[in-house]
Amino acid sequence: MARIPNVLSTAAPAALTAASGLVGGYGVARWTGQRELGGAVLAVAGAGAAAQWHRSSGAATAAALTGLYVAAFGGSHPLAKRIGAWPSVLAVTGVVAAASTAASVLGSRRS
């Protein structure tokens, strides 16, 4: 049986996958009024990014970045009360994308 390629891991770097999950999850939840649907987007993209991080940087880095991804989601809520919803989502997304990119660069230097 032919193996179906994992489009999520081959088409986009992990930073883009994670950013898409945070921004897309919030956007879907906001525009549809369905928080569960936004959570599904967040979870699917997070799982895809975690798999990419694991392949490119190893289990420890993947665990740390996945923890950061979840913390960013949780932290965006209280931050939104101070600076607004979209600025909060964009701020935490920037942190996760920067950390992911840094891990990718450091991982490629070790190889």
Number of domains in the chain: 1
Provide the pLDDT confidence category of residue 106 given band limits of 50, 70 and 90: confident
Say if 76 falls within a structural domain: yes
pLDDT of residue 100: 94
The mean pLDDT value for 33-62 works out to: 95
Mean pLDDT of the chain: 89
**HSE-up of 9 (CA within 13 Å, CB side)?**
13
Say if 2 falls within a structural domain: no
- Identify whether the C-beta of residue 38 lies closer than 8 Å to the C-beta of residue 30: yes
Say if 55 falls within a structural domain: yes
Q: Residue 35: which domain range?
A: 14-110
Say if 7 falls within a structural domain: no
Cα 111 from Cα 105, distance rounded (Å) = 10
Say if 8 falls within a structural domain: no
Tell me the whole-structure pTM to 2 decimals: 0.86
The mean pLDDT value for 7-20 works out to: 74
Say if 6 falls within a structural domain: no
Say if 54 falls within a structural domain: yes
pLDDT of residue 83: 98
Cα 66 from Cα 1, distance rounded (Å) = 32
